[in-house]
Amino acid sequence: MISVEMIDTTDRKQVQRFIDIQFKLYQDCPQWVPPILIDRRMQMNKKKHPFYEHSDADFFIAVKDGEDVGCISALENKPYNEYHKKKQASFYLFDTINDQAVADALFGAVFEWARARGLNQVVGPKGFGPLDGYGIQTMGYEHRQMMTMMHYNYEYYPVMMEKMGFRKEVDFLSDYFDISKVNENFPERIHRIADRVQQRGTLQVKRFKNKKELAAWGQRIGEAYNKAFVHNWEYYPLSKREIDFVVENILVIADPKLMKIITHDEEVVGFLFSFKDISKALQRSKGRMFPFGIFLILWELQKTEWISFNGAGVLPEFKGRGGNALMYSEMAKSMNEYPFKHGDLPQVAETTKEMRADLENLGGVPYKNHRVYIIDL
């Protein structure tokens, strides 16, 4: 018999029950990277996470024969719905054993939750903010997850979604870069265009000496984000608290040398955020930062061969004025800041056709896909 329980997020034991389901399900999966536990608990903390200042979410556990076998969260992002004139609920943190009945029961709870709020669609996976990653993986299962910037799931997940009547909403493709090949084949004209743009003074690249300097630009970077992605499928205007929250999270693992912004008259008009991959450290620490996880992360930051570009964008009005060339030129330079061998650019929506074409021209090879699903209620 299968039952579904909505947990009390003020009860630490129930929160831990929810978190433990994913850890148990993927404990023998070498491709899975655990979430940072303090981040997962923050997502479930309705008193502290900025999402709950404007929206709502609840969390459900599926129990079969006395055992916790699946989990899911249901979200109503009110600013998103208001901006896009929709009545959507989102689902997130969906995990289950390979049992269609368990998935049906979990989504049944989400559908009921959504209808009670007058919502008429359910879409996802889609989380609490721009760093949470999107979609159910449908391609590239043999590759390790890139930190917590995307999700990993078993191959039976898309099958379950389609059996429940979900259809594709949008695909997010991730690209792999063999850095040695990028160095050999990168179009020199892009560097020349980028140099000319900076010489004319139209656009400049701002680099950071330390995290304190980066933090001081945080609000301006957030404002640029709120302008750069207005046409993207997933966009909604972030609040000041959400911007601060994103910047704080970025600073935890940021290397100032890999964080760059593009400016026009001291205003931020683009950005390129790159990160050293700490996936191995998160796997070894099982998502725990303390007491030893932080040391594993620091060690991995020194020796990783992977760089991830998880934040790249230029305001639309500057793309044709050298902004795109400058961004891609700086991306190529970032690949050589350290002895990286591999590059990853996670989750670029298929709807951003110009950027998808640019990435493939620069040597990017699509190697993972995450699909966002939608269903009408």
CATH 3.30.70.20 correct for 2-171: no
pTM for this predicted structure:
0.92
Q: Are 118 and 87 in contact (CB under 8 A)?
A: yes
CA 233/CA 348 separation, integer angstroms: 11
Tell which residue, 63, 57, 50, has the closest CA to residue 18.
Answer: 63
Task: For residue 52, give the DSSP letter.
Answer: G
Distance CA 132, CA 50 (A): 14
d(CA 78, CA 2) in angstroms, rounded, equals 31
Residue 22: name the closest of 68, 75, 64 by CA. Answer: 68
The residue ranges of DSSP E strands in the chain, in sequence order, are: 2-6, 56-64, 67-76, 88-96, 121-124, 136-139, 167-178, 204-207, 259-264, 267-276, 306-314, 342-349, 365-376
In tens digits, what is the pLDDT along the chain, a chain of 377 residues? 899 999 999 999 999 999 999 999 999 999 999 999 999 999 999 999 999 999 999 999 999 999 999 999 999 999 999 999 999 999 999 999 999 999 999 999 999 999 999 999 999 999 998 778 899 999 999 999 998 888 999 999 999 999 999 999 999 999 999 999 999 999 899 999 999 988 888 889 988 888 888 888 877 777 777 776 666 777 788 888 888 888 888 777 888 889 898 988 888 888 888 999 999 999 999 988 888 888 888 888 889 999 999 878 888 788 878 888 888 999 999 999 899 999 999 998 888 777 888 788 888 999 999 999 999 99
The one-letter code for the residue type at 162 is E
Token pair 């990028």 in the structure block, residue: 182
Q: Shortest CA distance to 4 belongs to which of 73, 75, 98?
A: 73
Q: Where in the chain is the domain with CATH 3.40.630.30?
A: 2-171, 177-369
Other CB atoms within 10 A of residue 218 CB: 16
CA angle 88, 89, 92 (to 5 degrees): 135
Rounded Cα distance between 221 and 261, Å, is: 8
Q: pLDDT for 111-156, tens place per residue?
A: 999 999 999 999 999 999 877 889 999 999 999 999 888 899 999 9
pLDDT digit string, tens, across residues 261-286: 898 888 888 888 899 999 999 999 99
From 3.30.1130.10, 2.30.29.30, 3.30.420.40, 3.40.630.30, which CATH number describes the 177-369 domain? 3.40.630.30
